[in-house]
Amino acid sequence: MRKTLTYAMLIFFSLLFIAPLFWAVTTALKSQQELYLFPPKWIPSVWKFSNFAEAWNTQPFNLFLKNTVIITALSTIGQLISCTLVAYGFARFQFKGRDMLFLVVLATMMIPWEVTMIPQYMEFNYLGWINTLKPLIVPSWFGSAYYIFLLRQFILTLPRELDEAATIDGASKMTVLFRIIVPLMGPSLILVAVFQIMNCWNDYLGPLIFLNDQTKYTLTLGLSQFKGMYGVDMQSIMAITCLISIPPLAIFFFAQRYIVGGIATTGIKG
């Protein structure tokens, strides 16, 4: 009885969460005539797969895709390298002011982005970086507090005896990091990569503020353009919504056990 109730509720809520997505997909496949029917038609009578290609061609989405991929790839590589180095520095060394500095790392997570938004904009403006992809890539190469924290927690769980054995064999700190620590960090590095890819791919405010020329636009900016245009079919919007959601969904699908396991072990408690 209790089991049945649990299943019923799980199924009910799952449907609630998935229904709008399902509807977005079917809307993308509908023909013009079926769009504004009331009551709505869930399954289109004719599946118009051509909608996807048509929607994609209404704006230079190939270019937007290229921009998004460049930003995502470069900033993810940057985060992985810089956060690994910094996390290792904090996890494995004794130095003056370390605990204070680490507290500052944690504190930066509390600063709302809005507070630094305007000076950052002016800074990038001064550097001539506005309307280039640089503001969306370069800061990632200096590490984000959240990932540094996550990776540091992981490195702390690795036995120090490993480092020491290697050091006695004459390995340098860098060798220890890249030959011993990094190979063991696989899951948490994947977790960082997944988070960063998702954030970058889905970012809207960053591109909105730093980019103003259409040739520099990202996918999310391209999609939001539909909002302002007059007379665009809803199925185009839904088709693009579906298309640009595929990569994050695919990544989530393959990485979800790392995500779930990762959150459980990074120690949010306390």
Partner 1 sequence: MAQTYLQHTREQSAALKPSRKRRWGGAAPYLFIFPWIFGFIVFTLGPLLFSLIISFFDWPIVGKVTFIGVDNYVQMFTNDPMFWKSLFVTLKFAALFVPLNIIIALGLAMLLNQKVRGSAIFRTAFYLPSVISGVALAMIWSWVYSGDYGILNYFLSLFGIQGPDWLNDTKWSLVAMVVASLWGQGSMMLIFLAGLKGIPKDLYESASIDGAGKIRQFFSVTIPMITPTILFNLITSIIAAFQQLTLALLLTGGGPLKSTYFYAMYMYENAFKYFKMGYSAANAWFMFLIVLVLTFLVFKSSEAWVFYEGEMKKNSQKKLKAGKGGQTG
**First-residue to last-residue Cα distance in the chain:** 37
Q: Is residue 121 at the binding interface for partner 1, with CB under 8 A as the rule?
A: yes
Which of 125, 157, 214, 215 touches partner 1 (CB under 8 A)?
Answer: 125
Closest CB 7 distance from partner 1, rounded Å = 6
Q: Interface residues for partner 1 in 158-187 (CB under 8 A)?
A: 173
Closest CB 45 distance from partner 1, rounded Å = 17
Q: Is residue 98 at the binding interface for partner 1, with CB under 8 A as the rule?
A: yes
Q: Interface residues for partner 1 in 46-85 (CB under 8 A)?
A: 82, 85
Name the nearest CA neighbour of 86 among 192, 212, 5.
192
Whether a cis peptide bond, with omega within 30° of 0, leads into 39 is yes
Which of 14, 57, 62, 214 touches partner 1 (CB under 8 A)?
Answer: 14
Name the nearest CA neighbour of 209 among 131, 107, 150, 134.
131
Which of 128, 159, 227, 231 touches partner 1 (CB under 8 A)?
Answer: 227
Whether the CB-CB separation of 150 and 192 falls below 8 Å is answered with yes
* DSSP 8-state assignment for residue 178: I
Q: Is residue 254 at the binding interface for partner 1, with CB under 8 A as the rule?
A: no
Closest CB 150 distance from partner 1, rounded Å = 12
Structure tokens, 226: 């539909």
Whether the CB-CB separation of 175 and 86 falls below 8 Å is answered with no
Name the nearest CA neighbour of 55 among 237, 249, 215.
237
Q: Is residue 27 at the binding interface for partner 1, with CB under 8 A as the rule?
A: yes
- Which CB atom, from 63 or from 243, has the smaller least distance to partner 1? 243
